[in-house]
A and B are shown apart, each in its own frame.
Chain A
Amino acid sequence: MNPNLRLNSQPTIESSANRRLWLWYGILLAVLIVFGARLFYLQIVRHDYYRQQALSNQLKEYTIPATRGVIKAHEGSQIAPLVLNEKLYTLYADPVYISDSHAAASKVAAVTQADAKEYEKAMRSPKTRYVVLAKKLTEQQKKQIEALKIAGIGTQAQDYRLYPQGTLAAQILGFVNSDGQGKYGLEQAMDGTMMGTPGKLKAITDVNGAPLAASRDNIQIDPKAGKDIILTIELGMQKQLETLLKQGLDRSNSKSGSVVIIDPGSGAVKAMANWPTYDPAKYSEVTDASLFNNGAVSSPLEVGSIMKTLTTSAGLDLGVIKPDTTYFDPGHWELDAHQITNVEEISSGTHSVPDIVNLSINTGATWILMQMGGKTGEITATARDRWYDYMVNHFQLGKATGIEQGYEASGYVPDPNNGYALQLTYANTAFGQALTITPLQMAAALSSVVNGGTYYRPYLVDQIVDESGKVTVNKPKIVRSNVVSAEVGRQERLLMEYSLAQHHLRPPFSANYSVGGKTGTAQIANPNGGYYDDRYNGTYLGFVGGDKPQYVVMVRINEPKVGKYAGSSAAQPLFADIAHMLIDNFNVLPKTGP
């Protein structure tokens, strides 16, 4: 019936081949069943585990950087920008996807106007998926790059600080590093205010971290932009001051110096300059990090004889001297087995308080200090305590002012009761040695005297503008009232005017204005002990105003190489320039009466 029956009865390979087919088929089906079981295990039994694994790879949390606040300053009645933001682009390559690196490199280099060979080399970097080709591409360049449509070439947006005024006020401003952190100056001190609150993005991303739009697990919290800052700085004054400082330094063969101009009526810093400086737009190219420091607030020094303005103020306020007090000066004092002498020999004899300021008599300043303890010839513990109280609690020396600057130094005031050779040390503090003070501290201290006794915290931030445009104006903050009495303030102004008049500054000042000042020639401490014989810093502390002082100016010139006295030869002429600049250009109100 079936023809195959006959066939099957014969000895052929057929039945065996059939068995083999069934065997193979059986194995295949068994493998498929094992696969099914394995899939059941992976996809159902172990699903939660692998889902977690997947999410730990895929779900990434990002901070969305907030737009950083910008920095502006006054320019007359206007507000002008000092620091802005600029969106620039980083150009990168993913070597894995670049098939023709030669063509890609030359096309990209044509846009960035860079060396194609460098790019080609970078595009061939092995074992990396991310090579930065160029930074700070403009929006237009970015569009040109995108138009090339080269696989493996991409751009990334990044905010950069833009400095429309160039290097102006660089050390006041500081910079923002590549991690978005404010460093030095205002950027550091006000980092929290300007930074804003970063947003958060929790999203499923691709392997490169780019969020995928269509994902159910995405959470986004928008960033809150940082606040803008308007400085107390007067841009015009700042510009002129930086120019004058550089000229003054060149004139006196000095390599570095600082000037602070503050408003004694509020503590607002109007201008603050240092030399040498740097370009904040190119902060990464700076090799000497000390250039980042704002020397006026972060570099304290032994200020020298300008300290006598504070010594006399304290003596007057304590009532141990009067502006016309005369005394006998022996020409030298012997304290703790050391001689206190004068720089320029002063004949022993009768001298007056104005002489102490005008002739800068160290022995006279020491004498005032002795009077605080009521014992001529000795600086008693009482004298030291009272002087220490004035320095630290009245004039706020030895502690940071709290100005909005990174790395502010607090300076150093020796302890009145602990230490070696206290009388000698304290005698030195009376004329500005053996203690350190920043130019800003000095300016703020004198301000508190000449304004009639109110110590205002020196400050740089005038206004803070938030995202919605709401303006918060910083009011001057009184740290201490009755630093000295108003009468002492008036007396000290007269002493300083007298001293300035005796020094014949050039060009002379009009009698319509009240200008006073004091020179300082500070010895520089030798790290090996004692002082250098031939190195001095020149300082000058003065004020400019009419009926009341409008600006207090502190000048510091480091190691000038001119004349004998750094104070009168180097710092004083610079102060004269600055005082004239203020009178000529910055609305100093003349005196109303005689």
Chain B
Amino acid sequence: MSLRPRTRPPAKYQNSISSVEQSSSTSRRHRPDYGVFVLTSLLLLIGLVVVYSISPALAASQHISQNYFITKQLIDVGLAVAGFFVAANLAIRRWQGLSNPLLIIALFGSVLVLVTPINELYPAHRWIRLGSFSFQIVELIKLALIVWLANFLARQWALGKLADLKATLRPLLFILLAIGIVVAKLQSDLGSAAVAIAIMGLMAFMVGIPLKKVALISVGIILLLTLAIASTGYRRDRLAAYLHPGKDCQDTSYQACQALISVGSGGIFGLGLGYGVQAYGYQPEAANDSIFAILAEKFGFVGTTMIIVLYGIFIARLKKIIQRSSDQFSRLIVVGVLAWLSTQMIINIGGMIGLLPLKGITLPLISQGGTSMVFLTVALGIVFQISRYTSYNVTQPKISQPSSTGSDYGSSDRRGFRRPYNTPTAARPRT
């Protein structure tokens, strides 16, 4: 550990009056965590290989060019890598400034998506389309949510108002409701809503909101989910299919059942890259949501274990960056990204192996689906940037030391955030 060329935070920092920006600048820039880049690339590469191998199968059943899917995937991966590097080289404080505009764009997009016509290929209001280009708005919502929440929670944390019902919890509940209405109801995308809510919940949890309040929010989430499920017929069916698996492979549980067959028929070593059959029309969404099942069929238990281990390493890596982020905003960004990556992975794989009800969301970084891939890599690019400023030791975000009494820390004005202020000890959450 001590050999690592990481700069220890200077001692003066401990007593300095700090803002997020100041604190991030206090850890000197160092070599980033290339592990983030390597893992991202590896997962993207695995996705490319699988999509390449099933591209002819998909093309055959849809009567389109053999190279259509792999070309699309290559373009998406190219965009994703570009997105990663742009984000990786953008100063972290720039994102703070972008938190409100991003949210506004996301909201605007959510309205736009409602007026985009739907058809057989796009049966729900989830996509904004321009010609052959289609854009899934919920991915932008996830990124905007992370940036905005990181900014908001870091400030409320710095102000010591995390437990404050009016200043912190009410906006959170409002956002929760907004996600429920916009994503779950209007876009009928319960999977993504679950991911967004998990992001929010975990960020709130990790910033240190008292557990009692977390419990309150959880009850709200459960109520929302119950409502969403009870109000939509096909969701009831899917839940029923989940609760009674293997009954039949036809109607509602067809995709889930085919997923189990894909996974189970893979065996230890799989059928081999060129020998999978399920992608030939049996497994719905073979390149997108069901890519894990296809991968399991081709590479067997060895392959799936490798994927699980890769995600495990990724999670550990992000956890380490969280631990070492010396600045609350950055730390919360990484928390949000980890929540995004891990929750989406769990919902996707859990659905494929019959442990969770099936949801139409992608397997992070591997699935085809350009929007999801690009926005997640942008988020990981931010993490990569943050990893340049981690501290040597396992640290926590420094609590600001009061130097003067602030009278207006309830203000949402960003300039107020920079101003020195007091943090009353009593307001600090105890858990």
Contact = CB atoms under 8 A, between A and B. Distances in A.
A and B: partners? Answer: yes
Contact of B14 (A7, A205, A206, A208): A7
Interface stretch (B140-148, B278-286, B379-387, B404-412): B278-286
B355 A12 contact: no
Contacts of B262: 54
A43 interface: yes
A32 B311 contact: yes
B208 A16 contact: yes
Contact of B206 (A24, A210, A216): A24
Nearest to B266: A43
Contacts of B413: none
A31 B202 CA distance: 16
Interface stretch (A44-52, A474-482, A531-539): A44-52
A47 B267 contact: yes
A151 B308 CA distance: 36
Nearest to B394: A18
B26 to A, nearest CB: 12
Interface stretch (A34-42, A222-230, A280-288, A448-456): A34-42
B429 A20 contact: no
Contacts of B397: 14, 17
B159 interface: no
A125 to B, nearest CB: 12
Given A24-B202, A97-B63, A206-B280, A11 B265 contact: no
B205 interface: yes
B41 interface: no
Interface string A535-568: 0000000000000000000000000000000000
A218 B396 CA distance: 62
Nearest to B296: A43
Given A20-B208, A44-B268, A25 B315 contact: yes
Contact of A21 (B8, B206, B354, B429): B206
B264 A50 contact: yes
Contacts of B28: none
A54 B277 contact: yes
Given A32-B311, A32-B312, A214-B275, A206 B355 contact: no
Nearest to B162: A13
Contact of A58 (B207, B277, B342, B425): B277
B378 interface: no
B226 interface: no
Interface string B389-423: 00001111111000000000000000000000000
Contacts of A392: none
Interface SS of chain A: helix, strand, loop or mixed?
helix
A310 to B, nearest CB: 67
A29 interface: yes
Interface string A135-168: 0000000000000011111100000000000000
Nearest to B302: A43
A151 B63 contact: yes
B296 A39 contact: yes
B395 A4 contact: yes
A13 B208 CA distance: 7
A32 B308 contact: yes
Interface string B232-264: 000000000000000001000000000011111
A179 to B, nearest CB: 26
A53 interface: yes
B40 to A, nearest CB: 18
Contacts of A215: 275, 277
Contacts of B113: none
Nearest to B431: A16
Contacts of A43: 263-264, 266-268, 296, 300-301, 304
Contacts of B282: 57-58, 206-207
A2 interface: yes
A205 to B, nearest CB: 8
A38 B355 contact: yes
B339 to A, nearest CB: 9
Nearest to B323: A21
A108 interface: no
A592 B350 CA distance: 100
A150 B277 CA distance: 24
A152 B274 contact: no
A99 B121 contact: yes
A28 interface: yes
B396 A12 contact: yes
B305 A42 contact: no
B57 interface: yes
Contact of B281 (A35, A49, A208): A208
B267 A35 contact: no
A50 B260 contact: yes
A36 B305 contact: yes
Given A11-B425, A12-B396, A50 B263 contact: yes
B222 interface: no
Contacts of B395: 4, 14
B63 A36 contact: no
Given A17-B396, A39-B296, A154 B63 contact: yes
Interface string B5-34: 000110101100000000000000000000
A215 B397 CA distance: 58
A593 interface: no
A103 interface: no
Contacts of B264: 42-43, 46-47, 49-51, 53-54
Given A4-B395, A17-B206, A42-B263, A207 B308 contact: no
B346 interface: yes
B46 to A, nearest CB: 16
A79 interface: no
A529 interface: no
A39 B301 contact: yes
25 contacts: A7-B14, A14-B395, A17-B396, A21-B322, A21-B323, A24-B205, A28-B315, A31-B346, A31-B350, A32-B311, A39-B308, A40-B301, A42-B264, A43-B268, A43-B301, A44-B267, A44-B268, A47-B268, A51-B264, A51-B265, A54-B264, A58-B282, A153-B63, A207-B61, A207-B281
Given A32-B311, A57-B261, A208-B281, 16 more contacts: A3-B13, A6-B14, A17-B396, A21-B319, A31-B350, A35-B355, A43-B264, A49-B264, A50-B265, A54-B261, A54-B264, A54-B265, A96-B120, A150-B63, A153-B63, A212-B277
Interface of A: 2-4, 6-7, 10-18, 20-21, 24-25, 28-29, 31-32, 34-36, 38-40, 42-44, 46-47, 49-51, 53-54, 57-58, 95-97, 99, 149-154, 204-208, 210, 212, 214-216
8 tightest CB-CB pairs across the interface, nearest first? Answer: A50-B264, A207-B281, A14-B396, A206-B280, A54-B265, A43-B301, A151-B63, A13-B208
